[in-house]
C-alpha cells in the first residue's frame, strides 16, 4: 500500500483554512498598513499561515513579495518571494517550483545568507523527491545540511534531518530513514521545542512501522503526534496523522480500525481543505476496500481520487474562476457563475464515467489478451516438449531398428556357418532355429512400426513425397525416410536388408528420380522441401 508521508518545509506550515480569500486579506493589508516594509513583515507571517493545503494562496503571497521587493530594490525580499512561490508549487507545478527556488539560491548566494540557502536547498530536495529524482534530492538535502551547520541554526538542522529521513523513506532506504529520523527527534528534544515535533514524531513513527519489531513503538510515536496536533489545534497536521493511522492499523491487520480511520481521515482532511492528504486517503481507502472485497466502496473512493487528481492538476484554471468570482458581486454575476459551475460539474461527471468505462474495458481486454497469450505460450511449450519427446523416441527406435537388424543378420550368417560344420541332426536343429529367427524378424512389420513413429514427428512427409513424386517405389520411399533421419549407408543397409553398395546405388537412382544434380545435397533437399 502507498502511504501518506508528511514533509517539513523551510517553515512549519501550521495553517487552518482561512474563510477570507487571500487577495482580500492582502488588499486590506495595503489599506491598513501603508508602509511597504511593514507590509512585507505581515506577508511573511501570512505566508506561514497558508500551508501546503493552499498552494495557490501561498503563490499569490510570493508574487506580492516579489512585487514589493522590486519596488524597494531589496534582493532579500525578492529571494524570499521566490522561495515562497517555489515551496508553494512543490507538489503541483515542478518547473515553476524549481525555477523560483534556483533564483532564490542565486540571490541568497550573492547575499551570502547561509540560513536561507539551507532552507531553499531543503525546499529543492522536497521538489526533487516529489519528482522521484533521487540523486538531486539527496544532493540538495546534503547542501541544506552544510549551510544549516554553517549558520549554526540547531532548530533548522533538525528540520533538515527530518527532510533527509523523509527522502530516504520515499526511496525505500528504510534503515537510513530511521537513522536520520532519530537524529531529528534528538535535536528537537534537546532544544525542548514543540513546534515541528509532531511532524518528526509522525515521520519517525511511520518509518518504525516498517519494522515488525518496532511496530508498537512506531504507533506510540504517531499517537503522540496526534495528541500534540490536538493540543496545538493544528488541523492540517491532525489530518495527516489520522490518514497515516489507516496504514498503521492495516499493518496490525486491524480491519475495523482501518475502516474507522478512513472515515475520520476523510472528514479531517476535508475540514481543513487539505486536498493532497484527502486525495491520498481516497487512494488508501480504495486499496484497503479492494483488498478486503468491498468493491462498491473501493470504486466510490477511486472516483473521488480521480476527480481530485483532475482538480489538483487544474489549479491554474481554478484560480481564474476564483478571481472571476471575486469580480462579480451582483446577483446576475453570481447566477452566471452558478450555471457555469453546474455545467462544469456535469461535464466532469460524464467525463469521469466515460473514462472509467474506457479504462475498465481496456483492463478487461488487456486481461483477456494476457491470459490468452499466456495459454498459447503454455500450449506451444507443451507441443514443443511433446515433439522433442517424439523425436527422441524416433531416434531411439531407429537405432534399435538398425541394431536389431544387424543382430538378426549376424545370427543368420553364424547359423549358416554352423549348419555347414555340424552333423545332419544338428544341422536340422540349426535350420529350425534359423526359421524361427526369420519368422520373428518380420521386416514389413518392423517397417510399419517405424513408419508410424516417423509420421508422428514428420507429419505428412510420405503424403507430400508421393504427391510430388508419384513414380517412387516402396523401397525408394523407405530410403527417403532414412535419408530424412540422416542415417549413413551402413545403418540404412541394415534396415533395408541390402548391402551398403546397394544402398549407394539406390541413392544414385533416387537422385535421378528427384531431378537432382550430383552437387545437390539429397538430405538437405528432403529436409527443406518435404
**Res. 496 pLDDT band, cuts 50 70 90:** confident
Residue pair 390/453 in contact by the 8 Å Cβ criterion: yes
Per-residue confidence (pLDDT) for residue 286, from 0 to 100: 87
Mean pLDDT of 26-36: 82
**Cα–Cα distances in angstroms (integers) from residue 165 to residues 120, 174, 184, in the given order:** 17, 9, 8
Comparing 75 with 337, which gets the higher pLDDT? 75
3-state percent helix, strand, coil for the chain, nearest multiple of 5: 80, 0, 20
Q: Confirm whether 464 is domain-assigned.
A: yes
Concatenate the DSSP letters of all residues of 284-299 into one string: HHHHHHHHTT-HHHHH
pLDDT in tens, 189-230: 888 877 778 888 988 999 999 899 999 999 999 999 898 888
Mean pLDDT over 457-480 rounds to 90
Nearest to 457 by CA among 523, 378, 396: 396
- Give residue 411's pLDDT band: very low, low, confident or very high (50, 70, 90): confident
Cell of 479: 530410403
Q: What distance in Å separates the CA atoms of residue 123 and residue 237, rounded to the nearest whole number?
A: 19
**Higher per-residue pLDDT: 376 or 158:** 158
Task: Let me know if residue 502 belongs to a domain.
Answer: yes
Question: For residue 71, what pLDDT is reported?
Answer: 92
Higher confidence at residue 221 or residue 428?
221
Tell me, yes or no, whether 473 lies in a domain. Answer: yes
CB 297 within 8 A of CB 19: no
Q: Can you say whether the dihedral through the CA atoms of 36, 42, 92, 105 is positive or negative?
A: positive
Which letter, b or e, does each residue of 14-27 get, where b requires 16 or more Cβ atoms within 10 Å of its Cβ? bbbeeeeebeebbe
Statement: residue 9 has pLDDT above 50: no
Residue 243 has pLDDT above 60, yes or no: yes
Q: Residue 521: give the domain boundaries.
A: 458-530
**Phi-psi category of 460—alpha, beta or left, where left has phi over 0 and alpha has psi -120 to 50?**
left
* Position 182 in a domain: no
State residue 364's pLDDT score. 85
What number is the average pLDDT over the span 351-376? 85
Indicate the number of domains in the chain: 1
- The mean per-residue pLDDT over the stretch 146-159 comes to 90
Average pLDDT, integer, range 417-426: 71
441-454: average pLDDT: 71
Residues 6+ apart with CB under 8 A from 213: none
| pLDDT score recorded for residue 75 | 95
Task: Give percent of the chain above pLDDT 70.
Answer: 82
Q: In the predicted model, is pLDDT for residue 305 greater than 90? A: no
Tell me, what CATH number does 526's domain have? 1.10.10.10
Map grid coordinates 475498465 to a residue.
360
pLDDT, tens only, 68-84: 999 999 999 999 999 99
Residue 83: per-residue pLDDT:
94
- Using only C-alpha atoms, what is the Rg of the chain? 43
Q: How far is Cα 14 from Cα 294, in angstroms, rounded to an integer?
A: 36
pLDDT digits (tens, 9 = 90+) for 180-189: 999 998 988 8
Residues 97 and 101: their CA atoms lie apart, in Å, by 6
Ramachandran quadrant class, 498 (left: phi over 0; alpha: psi -120 to 50; beta: rest): beta
Handedness of CA 247, 310, 302, 374 (dihedral sign): negative
Distance between CA atoms of 448 and 159, rounded to whole angstroms? 87
Q: So what's the pLDDT on residue 330?
A: 47
| pLDDT at residue number 389 | 66
Amino acid at each position: 500500500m502507498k502511504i501518506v508521508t508528511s514533509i517539513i518545509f523551510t517553515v512549519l506550515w501550521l495553517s487552518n483554512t482561512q474563510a477570507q480569500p487571500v487577495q482580500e486579506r492582502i488588499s486590506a493589508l495595503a489599506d491598513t498598513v501603508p508602509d511597504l516594509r511593514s507590509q512585507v513583515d505581515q506577508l511573511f507571517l501570512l505566508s506561514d499561515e497558508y500551508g501546503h493545503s493552499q498552494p495557490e494562496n501561498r503563490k499569490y503571497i510570493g508574487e506580492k513579495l516579489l512585487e514589493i521587493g522590486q519596488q524597494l530594490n531589496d534582493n532579500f525580499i525578492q529571494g524570499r518571494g521566490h522561495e515562497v512561490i517555489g515551496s508553494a508549487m512543490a507538489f503541483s507545478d515542478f518547473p515553476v517550483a524549481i525555477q523560483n527556488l534556483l533564483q532564490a539560491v542565486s540571490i541568497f548566494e550573492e547575499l551570502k545568507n547561509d540560513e536561507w540557502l539551507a532552507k531553499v536547498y531543503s525546499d529543492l530536495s522536497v521538489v526533487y523527491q516529489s519528482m522521484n529524482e533521487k540523486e538531486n534530492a539527496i544532493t540538495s538535502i546534503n547542501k541544506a545540511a552544510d549551510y544549516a551547520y554553517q549558520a549554526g541554526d540547531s532548530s533548522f538542522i533538525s528540520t533538515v534531518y527530518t527532510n533527509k529521513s523523509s527522502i530516504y523513506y520515499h526511496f525505500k532506504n528504510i534503515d537510513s530513514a530511521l537513522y536520520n529520523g532519530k537524529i531529528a527527534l534528538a535535536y528537537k528534544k534537546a532544544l525542548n521545542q514543540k513546534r515541528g515535533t509532531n511532524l518528526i514524531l509522525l515521520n519517525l513513527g511511520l518509518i518504525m512501522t516498517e519494522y515488525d519489531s518496532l511496530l508498537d513503538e512506531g504507533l506510540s510515536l504517531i499517537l503522540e503526534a496526534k495528541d500534540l496536533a490536538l493540543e496545538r489545534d493544528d488541523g492540517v497536521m491532525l489530518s495527516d496523522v489520522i490518514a497515516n493511522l489507516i496504514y498503521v492499523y492495516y499493518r496490525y491487520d486491524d480491519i475495523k480500525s482501518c475502516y474507522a480511520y478512513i472515515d475520520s481521515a476523510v472528514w479531517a482532511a476535508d475540514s481543513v481543505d487539505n486536498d493532497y492528504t484527502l486525495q491520498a486517503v481516497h487512494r488508501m481507502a480504495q486499496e484497503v476496500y479492494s483488498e478486503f472485497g468491498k468493491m462498491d466502496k473501493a470504486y466510490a473512493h477511486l472516483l473521488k481520487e480521480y476527480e481530485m487528481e483532475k482538480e489538483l492538476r487544474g489549479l491554474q484554471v481554478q484560480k481564474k474562476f476564483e478571481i472571476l468570482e471575486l469580480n462579480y458581486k451582483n446577483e446576475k454575476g453570481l447566477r452566471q457563475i452558478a450555471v457555469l459551475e453546474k455545467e462544469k460539474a456535469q461535464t466532469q461527471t460524464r467525463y469521469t464515467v466515460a473514462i472509467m468505462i474506457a479504462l475498465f474495458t481496456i483492463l478487461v481486454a488487456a486481461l483477456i489478451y494476457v491470459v490468452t497469450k499466456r495459454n498459447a505460450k503454455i500450449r506451444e511449450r507443451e507441443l514443443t516438449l511433446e515433439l522433442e519427446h517424439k523425436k527422441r523416441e524416433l531416434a531411439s527406435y531407429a537405432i534399435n531398428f538398425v541394431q536389431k537388424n544387424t543382430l538378426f543378420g549376424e545370427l543368420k550368417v553364424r547359423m549358416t556357418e554352423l549348419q555347414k560344420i555340424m552333423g545332419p541332426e544338428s544341422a536340422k536343429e540349426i535350420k529350425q532355429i534359423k526359421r524361427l529367427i526369420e519368422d520373428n524378424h518380420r521386416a514389413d512389420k518392423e517397417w510399419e512400426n517405424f513408419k508410424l513413429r516417423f509420421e508422428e514427428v514428420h507429419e505428412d512427409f510420405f503424403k507430400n513425397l508421393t504427391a510430388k513424386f508419384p513414380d517412387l517405389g516402396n523401397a525408394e520411399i523407405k530410403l527417403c525416410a532414412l535419408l530424412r533421419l540422416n542415417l549413413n549407408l551402413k545403418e540404412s543397409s541394415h534396415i533395408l536388408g541390402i548391402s551398403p553398395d546397394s544402398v549407394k546405388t539406390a541413392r544414385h537412382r533416387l537422385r535421378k528420380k528427384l531431378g537432382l544434380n550430383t552437387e545437390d545435397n539429397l538430405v538437405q533437399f528432403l529436409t527443406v522441401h518435404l
